[in-house]
Chain A
Amino acid sequence: MSKEWPLWEIFIRGQHGLSHRHVGSLHAPDAEMAIKNARDVYTRRNEGVSIWVVEANNIAASSPSAKGPLYEPSESKIYRHPTFFDIPDEVGHM
Chain B
Amino acid sequence: MYAQMVQSTGQGAKSREDMSPEERAFQDRIDADQKIEPRDWMPDGYRKTLIRQIGQHAHSEIVGQLPEGNWITRAPTLERKMILLAKVQDEAGHGLYLYAAAETLGISRDELTEQLLSGRMKYSSIFNYPTLNWADIGAVGWLVDGAAIMNQVPLQRTSYGPYSRAMVRICKEESFHQRQGYDIMMKMAQGTVAQKKMAQDALNRLWYPSLMMFGPSDADSVHSAQSMAWKIKINSNDELRQKFVDQTVPQAKYLGLTIPDDNLVWNEDKGGWDYSDPDWSEFFDVLKGNGPCNTERLEARNKAWDDGAWVRDGLMAHAQKKRAAAAAE
Contacts and interface: CB of A to CB of B under 8 A. Distances in A.
A26 B96 CA distance: 7
A93 B166 CA distance: 43
Interface string A9-40: 00000000000000011110110010000001
Contacts of A77: none
Interface residues of A, number: 20
Contact of B93 (A7, A25, A41, A64): A41
Given A2-B312, A29-B318, A63-B39, A7 B169 contact: no
Contacts of B313: 2-3
Contacts, number: 53
B319 A44 contact: no
A5 interface: yes
A47 to B, nearest CB: 10
A4 B109 contact: yes
Contact of A25 (B41, B100, B169, B312): B100
A10 to B, nearest CB: 10
Contacts of A27: 109
Contacts of B276: none
Contacts of A30: 315, 318-319, 322-323
B316 A44 contact: no
B32 interface: no
B100 A5 contact: no
Contacts of B96: 26, 41
A7 B89 contact: no
13 contacts: A2-B309, A4-B108, A4-B110, A5-B316, A24-B100, A24-B165, A26-B96, A29-B318, A30-B323, A40-B93, A44-B89, A45-B173, A64-B39
